[in-house]
Amino acid sequence: MRISFQTGFRHALADIQRTSEELARRQREVSSGLRLQSPSDDPTAANGAVTEHAALGALDRYARASDSVGSRLTVVDTVLGDVVEKLTQAQSVATGALGSTPTTAQREAAARELAGLRDALLGDFNTNFRGVYVFSGTASTTPTFLRNPDGTAGTYQGNTSTIAVDIDRTSSVQVTFDGSTVTQGTEPRDVFTVIEQLRADILAADTPAIEAGIADLKKAFDRAVKAQTQVGTDQKALEDQRLRLSDEKLGAKARLSKLEDADMAEAISSMARAEAGYKAALGATATITRVSLMDFLR
């Protein structure tokens, strides 16, 4: 009799523990809204969830990179727009100094205005964004151009390499630029040298030399427009990529939801069944362990 009682008691306790664990699991499922509490709940789904979480992490990294790249490209686009404007003004000033009509005072004023435009262009190409000189290539901690003691611009201090940032698994966008491709390109003189020579030619009233300088400014203008167009193309590609990343993220979240999220109606029903089973186990154990007067008389 004692062995039968102990065996039944152990079985009753095991039932209580099992139903208690099931009830606790169902309660966690309902409170958290998650079907997967641990890998053992559904190993296949858990493996898929790990994959989707990794994909979401990568998408978040690419999204942050896209935001950073977008900020830099906005700055570069603004600077190149200013360069185009300044080169247009320089051409206009030099054109106004052509011929024999301008007076000496007018020529001197034109030379001073060109000096101001030179300084403005020097500031544009030395643009620093968050500690990075965007027109110095990979030498991004080095100022693009130094100013000489006489106020003229020195030689290009950067290099011809550039830095690109990955914005997805297969695409990257350039975030630093070789400033010399805009200021000089394949020409023998850079734009700063052209402006300095133009100032001298204007003061000397050398019309053929002024016309040659204007032609060189037009070439620099074309290079700047070409660079700005490429930046605009990259900005459009970046915006398209952001939309794709957003769609991919929504898809990954939807797949992850199917793997992890609980069906709340089913979860609540299961919790109710687990609670009923737990109460039944408690009741059964109470019946087994109830001691009567006859038990003492035996």
If pLDDT is split at 50, 70 and 90, which confidence band does 3 have?
very low
* 59 and 203 within one domain: yes
| Residues in CB range of 203: below 8 A, 6 or more apart | 107, 108, 111
Residue 80 inside a domain? The answer is yes
196 and 75 together in one domain: yes
* Residue pLDDT, tens place only, 122-140: 999 999 999 999 999 999 9
Residue 44 lies in a domain: no
CA distance 297 to 152: 117
156 in a domain, yes or no? yes
Same domain for 119 and 216, yes or no, is yes
Q: Are residues 15 and 160 in the same domain?
A: no
Q: Cα(256)–Cα(49) distance, rounded to whole angstroms?
A: 6
Based on the fold, state whether residues 184 and 200 are members of the same structural domain. Answer: yes
pLDDT of 247 over the 80 cut: yes
Same domain, 99 and 130: yes
Looking at the structure, tell me whether residues 135 and 19 fall in a common domain.
Answer: no
- Total number of domains constituting the chain: 2
Cβ pair 241, 234 in contact under 8 A: no
DSSP secondary structure, 274-286, as one string: HHHHHHHHHHHHH
Q: Average pLDDT, stretch 200-204?
A: 96
Residues 166 and 103 placed together within one structural domain of the fold: yes
Q: Is residue 70 domain-shared with residue 204, that is, in the same domain? A: yes
Residues 250 and 267 in one domain: no
Average pLDDT over residues 232-254: 87
Q: Is the predicted pLDDT of residue 225 greater than 90, yes or no?
A: yes
Tokens of 179: 């400033």
Same domain, 159 and 128: yes
CA–CA distance from 136 to each of 84, 92, 123, 166, 174 (Å)? 19, 29, 13, 20, 13
Assess if residue 40 is contained within a domain: no
Residues 24 and 135 in one domain: no
Domain membership flag for residue 38:
no
Six-digit token pair at 41? 């709940």
Is 271 a member of any domain?
yes
Q: 220: domain CATH number?
A: 1.20.1330.10
Report yes or no on 172 lying in a domain. yes
Instruction: Render pLDDT for 180-201 as a digit per residue (tens, 0 to 9).
Output: 999 999 999 999 999 999 999 9
Q: Is residue 34 packed enough to be buried (19+ CB in 10 Å), middle (13-18) or exposed (0-12)?
A: middle
Residue 116 resides in a domain: yes
Residue 75 lies in domain: 53-254
Q: What is the pTM of this model?
A: 0.73
